Structure 1
Amino acid sequence: MNAGTLARRTIGAVAGALAMTAGMGAWSQTRSCLDRAPSASQGTDFVAAAARQSPAVVSITVAGAGNEWAAAGEMSPPTRWGQGVGRGFASGFVFDPDGYILTSAHAVTGAQAVSVVTADQRRFDAEVVGIDRRTDVALLRIAASNLPVVAVGQSGEVCPGEWVAAMGAPFGFERSVTAGVVSANPRYMPGGNGVPLIQTDVALNPGNSGGPLFDERGNVVGMNSMIYSASGGYFGVSFSLPIDTAMRVADELRATGRVTRGHIGARTQPLTADLAPAFGLDAGLGALVVRVDADSPAETAGLRSGDVVLAVGAAAAAMPYAEIQERVASATQGSRLALRIWRHRAPLTVQVGVIQSVPDMPPKLVARADAHEVRFGLELTERKGVLGISLQDPGLYVQGVSGSAQRAGLRYGDALIAVNDVRVAGLADFDAAIRAIPESDTVALLVMRGANRSYVAIPPRVSKRAALTPSVRPSP
């Protein structure tokens, strides 16, 4: 099994060109860690830190997009209501009291509806302000103010061996805390897109995506993003996006709704100390070109696989990978960059044009409920169980699902037991129960899945304001 098979990444498709990063060079980060004074705290006591962050951590439910992380693995956790086809869970955290929330882009990509539950158990429909798949950042906004916010730290100061903790909703269990140590900072994924990550051994599972990673002082230093696993569940290697990067992306999404970067069409990886001798170099500095996109500025400039970009501009010394990425990403469209290249064990300089990367567009959300839906989008059938021929008990079963019911998490084979507190045994009972409930009220369906029963909420078909507004007709 190769590394690509083992990597069950929760980040969406990431295959860009030379792009933005917010990481420090490995050497400078190591130097700062050597100079760091020992912590006076115990290092493993996250009680105060968790209490500090918990009020700002939210749970996110996404309808219309399955939980890709859970689907990719081989784990079989106990089925939670609403977790399945067409519905997924994630985490997030409030960083602005006016309702701005950070979460993972892969969690909301393809969403039809996104809802947020705050720590005080208020539920809001969320707007997806913007997404950036490259860094796996999504910016949400809810109609709330004076919300508690996280304390934001500095990810560049996070050192290997330092204790950190994650908070989120693995498998839907809200505000769960797991702890571990930093394994590396920065870490670049093999074949990745040049975005630096914080590697830890903190246990992350489906539902943790988008939640905060915080240090022992209670400062958020990262946003939980992905795992590296053979099964799709926690395997001891987890990754978080540095908070410095996440906040910078959030600021741009908030200002313009999109992230734009300079890009030349050359896909690269860090030149490591192990690879350097193969190209006749002594140090693991620079960006190794692995692919050049057709019809790109890089192809026009003559770049090819196996070239090593040592520096951008007039710099005499070889640059760290992160700095090369930053120089290209910050270049404006139409400008030209001088790249110092190492090819066939000899230096040369090429001029390459810069174009703008195509920004990611947020998903188009649909209304929570449709007043014109028939039975909330449920296709139902009655099972009579005559003479014991039916393999299922008599009752009302879901044959097909769409719309509000799908967004609520119902699926084929579910049995409907009651509407609110009214038992239903057939279609006539179900229709009568629905008619008795005002369209401005939430409907609770008692559903049996396997041997388990649980109520599932269907949101109001019309808003209370619309229900209270009398229709105005022209005079005859």
Structure 2
Amino acid sequence: MSAATVAKGLIVAAVAAFVLTGQTSAWSQARSCLERGRPQSQAVDFAAAAARQSPAVVSIMVTENGGERPVAGDTRPSTPWERGWGRGFASGFIVDRDGYILTSAHAVSGARSISIATADQRRFDAEVVGADRLSDVALLKVAATGLPVVVLGRGSELCPGEWVAAMGAPFGFERSVTAGVVSANPRYVPGGSGVPLIQTDVALNPGNSGGPLFDERGEVVGLNSMIYSPGGGYFGVSFSLPIDTAMQVADQLRTAGYVRRGHIGARTQPLTAELAPAFGLGAALGALGALVVRVDADSPAAEAGLRSGDVVLAVGGDVAMSYADIQNRVAAARKGSRIALKIWRHRAALTVQVGVAENQPDVRPRPAGPAVMQETRFGLELAQRKGVLGISLPPPGLYVQSVSGSAQLAGLRYGDMLVAVNDVEVADLADFDAAIRTVRDSDTVALLVVRGSARSYVPILPRSSPHAPIARHASDGAVSTP
């Protein structure tokens, strides 16, 4: 799901960008939806679709230096096993057999290391090929070949009322499927910068960011990005980036490591049927045009004389264009070129020539380093508390003081109490050191951890292999995060 909340408690993970794929006007899309033939079968077989897509869906865990980094917009209260200190969680899907993975940019922003968990229980360290915060798309790469890939569809062609489903790891429940219908397509989010999104009522929660949205045919049509919510949880309004747009961004990230976009320095919003009459335009034109709300100082738009209240009707022609098409034309223009804008100002049309600048591309992120380095006690700094149990005091035992490396990747954090190593109980440092004395770097170790009122075995994965299988763990009802 970009990384800033647009208004307090509203946007869980924001995306804002000049869209790179064409969209039709609302009227032409409605007409094409009416002209669609009746489907051969009214049954929606998401079971088969999910089975086809599941092998190519991955869980993503991010660690970074310092304290805990919340995943974008994640304002919900933490449950005992939700998050590790310095970790963030998301989903993704494989788009190339040679190890290229698509996910949300906000999920990997500031990463020190990125770990990918595949459906066949393998874990890979990943590097960031490129990330585009404006569209909230990131392309990752793992050292593997012959991987399963998703089947891609066309998100821009979805019609309201069509059934869709999402797959991801909400609250740590990997490859969970939630279904619903398309509510609107395209939909522009207030406070955004012109990205047409797919609005659905599919349940998305923290951990779904970057996962796939697929249609009734089992084709991926979107990249799950954000929810609209007053409190940080799912409230029935979710948004996905059309896969057409996401793949165009990914292609540029793969080629150059960043995305080039033309811009003129004018901030706009879609002209609506309600707003059109206020500017002397017919309500029928409400699905077309871009309303200028701000012009940046010293920008090409300012030099050309554009002002707030202008309505851009078309770029390079006289036929009125949809808001997305206007954004596309500007974004596709090359730096240093000039474009002709058909403007509506004071109830009269005029043409303005505007120069094109180029958006500052995102800095190419440095590759994530290996998740685990040389370490002692799996990266745990431990302290033992002695003495009797008192009011408001933790019970005697072995407690985590700080965490890094393998333990950080596993999700341990300050304040956790260690009870056992595998099936050997530990009460102090001597017990712990004795229990791990024969552990090899190729061994998986299970630590029994108490956090609050919950206890759970947490796997410390083999330290010697970057492609280590993931050890599954049982718990007494504790929740682990995606």
TM-score, reference length from structure 1 = 0.89
- Report if aligned partners of 1:63, 1:113 keep a CA contact under 8 Å in 2: yes
C-alpha distance in structure 1 between counterparts of 2:465 and 2:233, whole Å: 40
- Report if aligned partners of 1:268, 1:288 keep a CA contact under 8 Å in 2: yes
**Alpha-carbon offset, residue 401 of structure 1:** 3.1
Instruction: Determine if the alignment matches structure 1 residue 384 to structure 2 residue 386.
Output: yes
Q: Deviations over 1:302-328 (max 9, x none)?
A: 222222111111x11221111110101
Partner of 2:416: 414
Instruction: Determine if the alignment matches structure 1 residue 362 to structure 2 residue 369.
Output: no
**Alpha-carbon offset, residue 458 of structure 1:** 3.9
What letter matches 1:63 in structure 2?
Answer: T
Partner of 1:469: none
Give the SS at the match of 1:202: coil
Q: Deviations over 1:384-413 (max 9, x none)?
A: 024747811111112233454334322221
C-alpha distance in structure 2 between counterparts of 1:425 and 1:208, whole Å: 38
C-alpha distance in structure 1 between counterparts of 2:90 and 2:180, whole Å: 21
Runs (5+) with no aligned partner, structure 2: 468-482
Runs (5+) with no aligned partner, structure 1: 466-476
Task: Please report the RMSD computed on the Cα atoms of aligned residues, expressed in angstroms.
Answer: 2.5
**Alpha-carbon offset, residue 134 of structure 1:** 1.4
- Report if aligned partners of 1:19, 1:262 keep a CA contact under 8 Å in 2: no
Partner of 1:471: none
Aligned residues: 456
C-alpha distance in structure 1 between counterparts of 2:176 and 2:440, whole Å: 37
Change (3 A) 1:183 1:375: same
Partner of 1:423: 425
Change (3 A) 1:207 1:301: same
What letter matches 1:277 in structure 2?
Answer: P
C-alpha distance in structure 1 between counterparts of 2:248 and 2:131, whole Å: 13
TM-score, reference length from structure 2 = 0.88
Partner of 1:235: 235
Give the SS at the match of 2:120: coil
Partner of 2:80: 79
Instruction: Determine if the alignment matches structure 1 residue 304 to structure 2 residue 307.
Output: yes
Aligned positions of 1:20-419 closer than 5 A:
20-64=20-64, 66-69=69-72, 71-73=74-76, 76=77, 78-80=79-81, 83-282=83-282, 283-284=285-286, 285-313=288-316, 315-360=317-362, 361-362=364-365, 364-371=367-374, 373-386=375-388, 388=390, 391-419=393-421
Change (3 A) 1:389 1:215: closer
**Alpha-carbon offset, residue 420 of structure 1:** 4.1
Give the SS at the match of 1:126: strand
State the percentage of identical aligned residues.
70
- Report if aligned partners of 1:369, 1:459 keep a CA contact under 8 Å in 2: no
C-alpha distance in structure 1 between counterparts of 2:253 and 2:466, whole Å: 32
**Alpha-carbon offset, residue 84 of structure 1:** 4.4
Give the SS at the match of 2:209: coil
Partner of 2:472: none
**Alpha-carbon offset, residue 425 of structure 1:** 2.0
C-alpha distance in structure 1 between counterparts of 2:389 and 2:92, whole Å: 52
The farther-off stretch of 159-168 and 379-388 is 379-388
What letter matches 2:205 in structure 1?
Answer: N
Change (3 A) 1:369 1:348: same
What letter matches 1:355 in structure 2?
Answer: A
The farther-off stretch of 403-412 and 180-189 is 403-412
Change (3 A) 1:334 1:388: same
Q: Deviations over 1:126-166 (max 9, x none)?
A: 12111111111111122222222111111232111111111
C-alpha distance in structure 1 between counterparts of 2:21 and 2:358, whole Å: 16
Give the SS at the match of 1:205: coil
